[in-house]
Structure 1
Amino acid sequence: MSQFVNLAASHEINDKLLFSGNTYYRRIGTGTLNGDANDDFDLINPTLADCDGSEVNCSGLLNRTSALQHNYGLSGQLTFAGDLFGQRNQFIVGAAYDESRIRFGQTSEFGELTASRGVSGAGAFSDEAAAGLKGTTRTSSVFATDTLSIKEQLHLTVSGRYNHVKVANRDQIDPEPGPESLTGTHTFARFNPAIGLSWTPSPAINPYVGYNEGSRAPSTIELGCANPDSPCRLPNSLAADPPLNKVVTRTVEAGLRGNLRGMRWNAGVFNASNTDDIVFIASETAGRGYFQNSDTRRRGVEFGFSGSLTETVSIGGSYTFLDATFRRDEQLSAPANSSADADGKIDVRKGDRLPLIPRHQAKLFVDYRPTAAWTLGADVIALSSMRVRGNENGQHQAGEANGEEYLGKGETSAFAVMNLRTSYRLNPRVSLFARVNNVFDHQYYSGGQLGERYVNLQGGKEADEVATTFFAPGAPRIAWFGVRIDLEPQKRKGGQVDR
């Protein structure tokens, strides 16, 4: 459950000076309940374990988590519009402050894996799996940007932002700082510059080129889950971990965009190099893993278009080719990978693809307006296959290897889904809407992870652990409708409904 409140204001001081600002508050509360296999079951006893004073099968765990976040902040800026060196110029300077507070807790109850693949709780809890954390992240920023019209159609933009981030964590179970405690304070600071050049010889074409740098500090959860020896059930269990570095991204982009006979279009290339990117590494147990710094790169090309074919028909679409790869050699823990060595490690080479990122993404939509008040629409989203977590080296194969059985090819299949929508405007303020996602109820997977299987297809317990590919199912067909009320109604272009 979440609540969000935002207040924005602006004031024109004179014809060349404008002040604007906003403040916000967001509350997010989440809770989870998951049944999992007990990793230590075979270490305690191959059949039974005394969990609560009686002979109870402890092959499973009921993991419960709760998290409550309070986010708030404010920002303000001054905009100066005037001439510089006899040319049009706009200068913006401002500052911002953001604060996030989180309280997190987790418990693990011993239980029995049932034939229906559920877990029946035994009333006894694991002390080792318990986690409690309070974290506060404070971010102070100052920024400035200047856009100078070198010529009537040539514009140069230079900007910069300085961020100072302080993350303070307090372990609720072991509050004193130490090797086994989450308590600690981490500080990150960086100045991020940017520069861009845009040329507009005509409305039909607008070449542009730019370079920018960005950075972010690790979150409370990421800092609390960075130990390969204590993988987490995210966003849940936390452990005493080595500190993570801040992520720094350097992006170069160039392209063309414009408006041709009412059709907006764009084509571009981009290259984003990440130093100390925070990646999630899967452990042998499904749903567990840890965060680790690594160098990565995302580069590709993108195309898009949208506009009106006629007064009643609008279309649009986009395509992105994204090459997301590791940029340095790594040795990662992936014991459920068929190519892992005796220690459960795999060698990831520079150029291997990042998991859970499709190389091809395409979207297409069409809207039809039978009347001025009624709009019908459809869209299709298609994604190519993705490597699952644990198969970062791309060498996992199904079958027999090293005397063990491995199931699944270690990647998802490509898929496409269609969605339908409609809206009818009763008056300028009130409209009705309806939407159906995944119209054909297509079964697809949005992600996956290599892990150990403890339960067979019949619901019984495996005699031996079997390495398999766990998939995250995509959303099934879902339909909803409602009423939209605009307190400040604005004219919708072309009668298009929200996508």
Structure 2
Amino acid sequence: MDDWSVGANYTYLDATYQSNETVNGSGNSTNVNSVANAATRTNGTGGGYEGTIDIKPGNKIPLTPSHMFKTYVDYQFAKDWGTNVNIMGFSQSFARGNENNAHKADGQNYFGSGIVPGYVVVNYGLRFTPSAVKGLTVFGQVNNILDEHYYTGGQLGAAAFDANGNFSAPRSGGSYSGGADGTQYSVKQTTFYAPGAPRTWWLGMRYSF
């Protein structure tokens, strides 16, 4: 078994607020003004109001996944050759702006769940350490070898387009007049995501002396 090396690590992180707080929640469907004017949030008009949200003890802190898992396997399959695989997994977390963990999409004025989905990434490596050249290592590495599409963060905020891809010219302050007929269009809010790195690979050389 000297040719094998295996390891794993699991972390449970219970990151929660411990006191009451009121913060800006313009992108959150449960902010005070959005809730107070819920009756106007129909057919895509009204709604999209600016307002605050209340954080209570026990609410999860955004961008902090509760479960994190990492494991690796390394195998020296020949005298000069070795390979390794490592896997990293993270559970879902709440997007910034969803500090009260209560945001819900309505498909009209608020889009996106306010949650950053969990993901798993697999990385693979191969190395060559020639016996004839002491201290030299030539290696190749492929990260995200399965080309998983994932997100590393998220935030609620105003969007320039509605669910159909139509430009909605969002402005601050809630709804605004859209034309001569006086129609009131809302400020659309959505969940923005920070994309994770796609499949990447490289070759390298290291010499120790």
TM-score (norm: length of structure 1): 0.34
Runs in 1 of length 4+ with deviation above 6 angstroms? none
What's the offset of the Cα at 1:457? 6.5
Question: Which residue matches 1:373?
Answer: 80
Superposed CA offset, 1:132-154 (max 9, x none): xxxxxxxxxxxxxxxxxxxxxxx
Identical residues among aligned pairs (%): 36
Query: What's the offset of the Cα at 1:425?
Result: 1.0
Q: Where does 1:61-460 land on structure 2 (aligned, <5 Å)?
A: 310-342=1-33, 344-399=51-106, 405-426=109-130, 427-456=133-162, 460=166
Please give the alpha-carbon distance, in whole angstroms, between the structure 1 residues aligned to 2:4 and 2:110: 51
Instruction: Measure, in 2, the Cα distance between the counterparts of 1:479 and 1:457.
Output: 36
The corresponding residue for 2:47 is: none
Q: Partners of 1:406 and 1:331 in 2: how far apart?
A: 20
Aligned-pair distance for 1:421?
0.4
Q: Distance in 2 between matches of 1:335 and 1:443?
A: 28
The structure, 1 or 2, with the larger RCO (C-alpha pairs under 8 Å, 6+ apart) is: 2
182, 199, 207: which one aligns with 1:477: 199
Distance in 1, matches of 2:200 and 2:149, equals 13
Give 3-state SS (helix, strand or coil) of 1:328's partner.
coil
Counterpart residue number, 2:36: none
Aligned residue type for 1:441: D
The letter of the residue matching 2:147 is D
User: Match for 2:125: what amino acid?
Assistant: R
AA paired with 1:477?
A: R
Alpha-carbon distance, 1:372 to partner: 2.9
For 1:444, give the aligned amino acid.
Y
Give the secondary structure class of the aligned counterpart of 1:449.
strand
Distance 1:477 1:457 in 2: 29
Please tell me whether Structure 1 or Structure 2 has the larger radius of gyration of its CA atoms.
1
Q: Counterparts of 2:18 and 2:164 in 1: how far apart (Å)?
A: 43
SS in 2 for 1:325: coil
| C-alpha distance in structure 1 between counterparts of 2:29 and 2:166, whole Å | 24
**Cα distance change, pair 395–458 in 1 and its aligned pair in 2 (3 A):** closer
SS in 2 for 1:406: coil
Aligned residues: 175
Query: Aligned partners of 1:366, 1:373: CA distance in 2, in Å?
Result: 17
Q: Write the distance in 1 (CA, Å) between the matches of 2:80 and 2:166.
A: 57
Query: Which is richer in strand?
Result: 1
TM-score with structure 2 length normalisation?
0.79
Instruction: Return the offset for 1:388.
Output: 0.4
**Aligned mates of 1:313, 1:327 — CA distance in 2:** 45
- SS of residue matched to 1:324: coil
CA distance in 2, matches of 1:327, 1:459: 40
- 1:259-299 C-alpha deviation (Å, 9 max, x unpaired): xxxxxxxxxxxxxxxxxxxxxxxxxxxxxxxxxxxxxxxxx
* Aligned residue identity for 1:465: V
User: In the TM superposition, what is the alpha-carbon distance from 1:485 to its structure 2 partner?
Assistant: 1.8
User: The residue matched to 1:361 in structure 2 has which SS?
Assistant: strand
Q: Distance in 1 between matches of 2:63 and 2:77?
A: 40
CA distance in 2: counterparts of 1:405 and 1:441, whole angstroms: 33
What's the Cα RMSD here? Answer: 1.6
- What displacement does 1:415 show? 0.9
- The offset of 1:408, in angstroms, is 0.9
* Residues 279-325 of structure 1: CA deviation (Å, up to 9, x unaligned): xxxxxxxxxxxxxxxxxxxxxxxxxxxxxxx0211100000111001
Q: Matched residues in 2 for 1:445 and 1:436: separation?
A: 19
Distance 1:424 1:346 in 2: 56
Please give the per-residue CA displacement for 1:401-431, whole angstroms capped at 9, x wherever unaligned: xxx6111111011111111001111322221
C-alpha deviation, 1:455, in angstroms = 3.1
Q: Matches of 1:484 and 1:459 in 2, distance apart?
A: 49
Q: After superposition, give the CA deviation of every residue in 1:374-418 in whole Å (9 maximum; x if it has no partner).
A: 110001100000100000100100116xxx611111101111111
Partner SS state of residue 405, structure 1? coil
